[in-house]
Amino acid sequence: MTGSKVVAVVGSSAGGVEDLRVGLVEPLLDRGYQVPVTLTPTAAGWLDAIGEVDELEKLTGLPVRSVPRLPGSRAPHPRPDVIAVAPATANLVAKLALGIADNQALTMLCENIAVTPMVVFPRVNAAHARQPSWENHLQLLRTVGVDLVYGDDFWPLREPRTSAPSRPLPWSELLRRLDRLLAA
């Protein structure tokens, strides 16, 4: 056991989110961390449809969150020491940079930004990156210390619908950066 540090995992509705358990959650649990999982509403729908929400809840021993708690009820997740966001849609990245907290995943991320170490993998394509505000969003997030797994070494940008659906996400790079943060 590495201890009882909490690595919160946030997934959004981009390709590869179906591998969140195998790619990220299981390796973090194997390292001895608590791993509360939060999904955007769309990602929760995708993972629920393939039984992955149940699998994640069984494995982590915690509810998978995608909706806000009721006023007066207790937060069902422990406070995070470190946060991993993967895959992050272009939509999630833009909203996080702008402070738009219109679902539970973004509410948690907006509360923790600039306070809790965060590693984010934007799973985007060349069209997302041409959006005129994109580079500003990335720059703003870097300014407050967000560690972006971004660039040709990790995820070369391709035009929409030209990537093989099986193109693997850079889980090992995310784990490497999380290991470094958690060892600090």
Ligand X SMILES: Cc1cc2nc3c(=O)[nH]c(=O)nc-3n(C[C@H](O)[C@H](O)[C@H](O)COP(=O)(O)O)c2cc1C
Rule CB under 6 A: is residue 56 a binding residue for ligand X? no
Rule CB under 6 A: is residue 128 a binding residue for ligand X? yes
Rule CB under 6 A: is residue 43 a binding residue for ligand X? yes
**Which one of residues 91, 107, 112, 116 is an interface residue with ligand X (CB under 6 A)?**
91
Q: Which stretch binds ligand X (CB under 6 A): 57-65, 75-83, 84-92, 135-143?
A: 84-92
Rule CB under 6 A: is residue 15 a binding residue for ligand X? yes
**Which one of residues 28, 97, 113, 124 is an interface residue with ligand X (CB under 6 A)?**
124
Rule CB under 6 A: is residue 65 a binding residue for ligand X? no
Rule CB under 6 A: is residue 42 a binding residue for ligand X? yes
36: buried, middle or exposed (CB in 10 Å: 19+, 13-18, 0-12)? buried
Q: Which stretch binds ligand X (CB under 6 A): 2-10, 60-68, 83-91, 145-153?
A: 83-91
Nearer to ligand X, 33 or 90 (CB): 90
Cβ(112)–Cβ(83) under 8 Å?
A: yes
Binding site for ligand X (CB under 6 A): 12-15, 40, 42-43, 89-92, 123-124, 128
